Amino acid sequence: MSADIDWIALAVFIFFFALVTVMGFFAARWKSGPVSEHLDEWGLGGRQFGTWITWFLVGGDFYTAYTVIAVPALVYAVGGYGFFALPYTIVVYPFVFAVMPLLWKVAHAKGHVTAADVVQGTYGSRGLELVVAITGIVATMPYIALQLIGMGVVIKAIGLTGELPIVAAFVILALYTYSSGLRAPALIAFVKDIMIYIVVLVAVVVVPAKLGGYSAVFSAANDAFTAKGGATGLTLKSPQMLAYASLALGSALAAFMYPHTLTGIFASKSADTIRKNAILLPAYTLLLGLIALLGYMAYAAHIKVASNNDVVPALFKELFPSWFAGFAFSAIAIGALVPAAVMSIGAANLFTRNIWKSYVNPGISHAGEASVAKIASLVVKVGALAFITFLPTQYALDLQLLGGLWILQTFPALVFGLFTRWFRAEGLLLGWALGILWGTWTAWSNGLKPLATLSIGDTSYVFYVGLGALILNVVVAVAGTVAVGLISPRRVVAQS
Amino acid sequence: MWVLLLLPFVGLLWVPFYNFQDPVLFGFPFFYWYQLAWVPITSFLIWVVYRSRTPDEETP
């Protein structure tokens, strides 16, 4: 423990943390159902969340704590390029509106809990089910680790050091997720999101007022980037434009392939709930755009940080009284708990339904599924904690980046089947495999950068690896489907 | 009506449309306020499509 603990901020922090902990345990009785008797209850909150609960839940787990730390950090480091999170979180909603209600209908009609369930139901392929499940679990683990990093940054800003505070916070989270399932993050999301809205609205009004208005904020950032040089600036350099657009599109297509976002979709009451949310969720995107600008405000406030991730906490400590800084840090830490809980539930659902039930105990009861999932959620969280504690932080960041390109490769298997039955499982499996291999190899050989370069003649194009891998994936899936159709004519496809 | 859902993709993914500083609005360079403006526009477009479609037969 260091001497410069901010006691007021710490007291505010502990108050809010205790509040959500009580709520987390209480949640088991909220909109109550037999939480331990059916996976639909523990893992999907009873499939009954209406428009507002879904709005808070999906908003809470899609716009994570790490986003609040990392987006301003990237904008602070490179300028306009870091803003790709904005087009990404806008174009995702027309996609959600068009596709996710169809997915919900299939899942609702057949009682599917996970993406891999849907794939198995559509294609009757155990192989495709398994790779979708494993991709989901593997892509989610580093994402949970990232939430811990976000929480660690604010705990450090309060003045607490060492691993103990974060371990304690995570153990509490693990226990109430175990007992309450998806109801816990759904209830806590209300508190988290209202706190984040307050913090951001105060910050975007008060901070520029203290610093001389938005013109001063942008011009301070512009001066800093001019001095810094390189590929930084308020707008993009021409080679960055394709990278910017392809990162936005690729991330948008990947966003609702993750187990945690899909859990929010499957837990909705109706297809219309999802459509209304596609209209209402962009409110969070506006918030995200304003949060991103905190990165520029740091220049106007003359903040100097050792690590870019400290920009937001340092800005709040500099410009706000201790109690409000403590409130903001609590909002960010609680903001880490909601997605971490939903992610571990999504991963646990996949493990239970598509690995345990499919390979270990096919005759498992509904109550048995719920208890396997509860234990799996603990294992997933302990794994993420061990990851952060024992391995360098950079590993989690690198793996999360690869996770984004991996999860994107499940897109054809999950989405195409909603519109056409033309594709064959073998083709989709081959497309998945080549997409993952090419994408991973390319990212790896570029020093784990998300960008690939393609040279045609004298011009070279720089784009997001994940999107390139997806295009390859689709081409291979089409070719594979044609080839399989020639070798063996179509048999019965749908089952269950 | 569904074609309206493509507009945000066109407006935001073709970066040369908006990669400028001017005109500045309320201190925000064009690059920033243009993209922020797409948030309410996208909500509105999705709402228009939502209103125009035939509702689900079952309303649980």
pLDDT along chain A (496 residues), means of 10: 69 82 76 71 81 87 83 88 92 94 91 91 90 92 85 82 79 84 83 87 86 87 84 83 91 92 91 91 90 90 84 87 86 86 91 88 84 88 82 76 91 92 91 94 85 80 90 93 83 50
Indicate yes or no: CB of B36 within 8 angstroms of CB of A271: no
A50 at interface of B, judged by CB pairs closer than 8 A? no
pLDDT confidence of residue A36: 66
Give the rounded percent of residues in chain B with a pLDDT score beyond 90.
55
A233 DSSP 8-state letter: B
As given in the structure block, the two tokens for residue A414 are 């999950």
Other CB atoms within 10 Å distance of the CB of residue A58: 28
pLDDT confidence of residue A460: 82
B10 at interface of A, judged by CB pairs closer than 8 A? no
A286 at interface of B, judged by CB pairs closer than 8 A? yes
What is the extent of the structural domain holding B46?
2-52
SS3 category, A50: coil
- Write the CATH number for A329: 1.20.1730.10
Q: How close, in Å, is residue B53 to chain A by CA atoms? A: 11
What is the extent of the structural domain holding A96?
7-394
* Contact status, residue A25 vs residue A176, Cβ threshold 8 Å: yes
When divided into structural domains, chain B yields a total of 1
A91 at interface of B, judged by CB pairs closer than 8 A? yes
When divided into structural domains, chain A yields a total of 1
A443 lies in a domain? no
Q: Which of A325, A30, A396 is nearest to A187 (CA)?
A: A30
φ and ψ of B39, to 5 deg:
-65, -60
B59 lies in a domain? no
B57 lies in a domain? no
- What is the Cα–Cα distance from A347 to A388, expressed in whole angstroms? 18
* Contact status, residue A123 vs residue B41, Cβ threshold 8 Å: no
pLDDT confidence of residue B40: 95
Q: Which of A205, A189, A217, A209 is nearest to A23 (CA)?
A: A189
- Residues on chain A touching B19 (C-beta within 8 angstroms): 235-236, 241
What distances in angstroms separate CA A243 from CA A123, A382, A440, A466, A467, one per listed residue? 34, 36, 17, 11, 10
B6 at interface of A, judged by CB pairs closer than 8 A? yes
Indicate yes or no: CB of A280 within 8 angstroms of CB of B60: no
pLDDT confidence of residue A413: 93
User: Which distant-in-sequence residues (6+ apart) come within 8 Å of A364 by Cβ?
Assistant: A356, A357, A372
Q: Which of A426, A405, A420 is nearest to A479 (CA)?
A: A426
A495 lies in a domain? no
Model confidence pLDDT, tens digit, residues B34-54: 999 999 999 999 999 998 887
B60 lies in a domain? no
B58 lies in a domain? no
A454 lies in a domain? no
A34 lies in a domain? yes
pLDDT confidence of residue A32: 67
A448 lies in a domain? no
A292 lies in a domain? yes
Q: How close, in Å, is residue B18 to chain A by CA atoms? A: 9
